[in-house]
Structure 1
Amino acid sequence: AKRRTLMTTPATTREARDAGHALFAADGVPVTVMRDSTGFVAQRIVATIVNIGCDIAQKQIATPRDIDLAVTLGLGYPRGPLALGDALGARTILTILRNIHTVLGDPRYRPSPWLARRAQLGLSLTQADAADINASNEAPQ
């Protein structure tokens, strides 16, 4: 690691912060100390990317497969947003979004109903709805 980050909470004492800093810096890697914030930056970004992918799927703008394909080919991401959501777990993404939304009340973090339903049912985010699959198989070619 080139740098480590130590995030304190409002309850972190100076002694605990200093002890944590000493432990993380013991091998010579620089440590940045920052105050608590609503969700780590990476968690907020990843959860938002997955959530936007879920909103696109819910609005049927594109299929889950096409959403992931567009992001991997167009943006060069190693995984599409829905595959990333599956890898991290839909329930985990849902929990992150709900917690941030509860604390901030910011509509950007409102979980997609499509995400919430799939998390509740234990369904993959990458799988198209069964009704959509059946409709595409019945459509004339």
Structure 2
Amino acid sequence: MAEFDFSTLNSSDLEELVCDLLNAKSRANNSKVTFKTFKDGKDKGIDILHSVEKNNYAIIGQVKHYWRSNFNLLLRDLKKEKLKVDLLSPSKYVFATSLDLSPQNVLEIKMLLKPHIKSLSDIYGNKGS
């Protein structure tokens, strides 16, 4: 399969792509979960959201565009995001990045963002998802 490096996408484009993919996955699983994105700017840690009547922050998604970056920088920035996620206290948290991830990277992200990330399957990378 041809490799796609996300170099032609900006952060907003990547958020839209991830949202579209999550909605497609939801439809394929016959789920009624629908995700949406928001305009660029300060987002309180919410790039993608599924909200329900009794929980405004049922599922929150965060997308980090780290093309040509490294995992240590991503992890450093995720530590800051963790504080925002803790305040929102979503039922579920989904994370996606344009960075390639190893199995160890995925585990480190899950551990850093616990208890919000429920499964390693809730973490997506360019490779390693």
Please, what TM-score do these two structures have when normalized by structure 1?
A: 0.24
Task: From the CA coordinates, give the structure whose radius of gyration is larger.
Answer: 1
Higher relative strand content = 2
Please, what TM-score do these two structures have when normalized by structure 2?
A: 0.26
Higher relative helix content = 1
